[in-house]
Structure 1
Amino acid sequence: MSNTKFFKAIYIPDTPFQDEKLKPKKAKKYNFKLDESERLANTLFRFVYSLNGEQILCFYIVDDWKGPYRYLFVEYNELYDKFTAQFGVEGVQGGYWEFGMDTYLDDYSPEVVFEKLNNAVNSGYDEDTPSPICHIYGQGMWHGDAFIVGNRTALEEMRSAIDTALKYGEIRTTLFPSDDEGYDLFISCVNDGFNWDLVDMPYHDPNYFDIPKVPIKAFKRYKLRD
């Protein structure tokens, strides 16, 4: 596990890619140095950048050179916010979008990296696979029942996400209610000594409880907001 790194994917269709190098729109402002560059496959590149002696690893993968689907999987470390800020304002045209394709890597051979990242990129683009539709109904109050109602696609994605959380600690996956308004499901596998007083009880009946706060303290890799 010591060699395991966690990557978040950003969508950068408008970032120029020239001479096998990325050209972020705000590169001069942040002054990252490109230490290593390697083509791992026809549509996959590995880059290592540095700033003030610290390094950040990323992989650039292109679904189709003729299409707009170009993603950068960026190591989530102390440099992540500054590094991604080079690409413009998040969620704005000409900037970047963070996609829910979070991936852990512990084997960096080209074949394994390509397989895992390619699977992440293409996991939601199979026209023959139904959208992962899932409704989650929490407990209204003490001893109240909770319900998960989902189609097979959603439950399989949830199972895969739980397996990832059991192995690496935490993960998120994207699901949809029946109105197709997608949402992220965050899953954390806390240790047995976790202090449950750090998170609210999940009950949500407004006649008895305040709205529970986001369980920020249960997650380390995600900057959640209440």
Structure 2
Amino acid sequence: MAERRVRAWDRVPEDMPGGVPRDLPGGVELYHLRPDGGILLADREGRRELGPEREFLRFIDDGQFAHYLVGDAATSPERPSNATVKLGVVGPRSAFTPHAHGGEHFVLSLGHAACGLYDEGRARVVDVPLVPGMLIRIPEMMPHSFANRADVPLTILAANTGYGIDHEDYAITAAEAERRAEAPAGSPGGGTALAGALTDHRALAAALRDIERAQRVRGIAATTVRERLAARLRRMASALEVSR
């Protein structure tokens, strides 16, 4: 078994910057979030590349993936871990279905992304471009959608307070908000208190539909020439840091 682990380790195409100590204590994990969107994990047993075929869960939409660091998909107010923290991989030139979370949401972008947000006070959709190293906080129940502007996979670090992917209030889409708006008050999922406050599901659905329309009309913004050059330089810098 140990021999097979060493061989699997050697098949990984890229090492960790600075190398991996061979005397890592048990339970310690090192992650390299590469500029090309790949994720390399090293621990006492060796190193391997994380990918959709293992150790990843579906992340809201088909083609998007998540790997939990804190909490799990079943986290909820009834089964709390205080927050969930997970690595997400967003497919090239793709966006999540617009949704709202029952808890507040933090996203650290490690690539060129964009976040479409519904500004209730101004009744319009606002697009916020993100570059590597930018973190955005989204309040609970704010309609939004996260997009990858680049043509390579995008890695994000996402933290949600109180909810895992399996919870019904983790990501409420326009279709779900419309269903809840039509449900009789007091029935499961109909007219209920959400995240400590009463939610107008009809208004929530309308806001989410506005983001959907904006996505259809505007499409996903492209990276600029300057951003593409910066991404190339970032990949070169990462390669220089890898031990050969």
Question: What TM-score do you get using the length of structure 2 for normalisation?
Answer: 0.25
Q: Which has the higher contact order (CA 8 A, sep 6+)?
A: 2
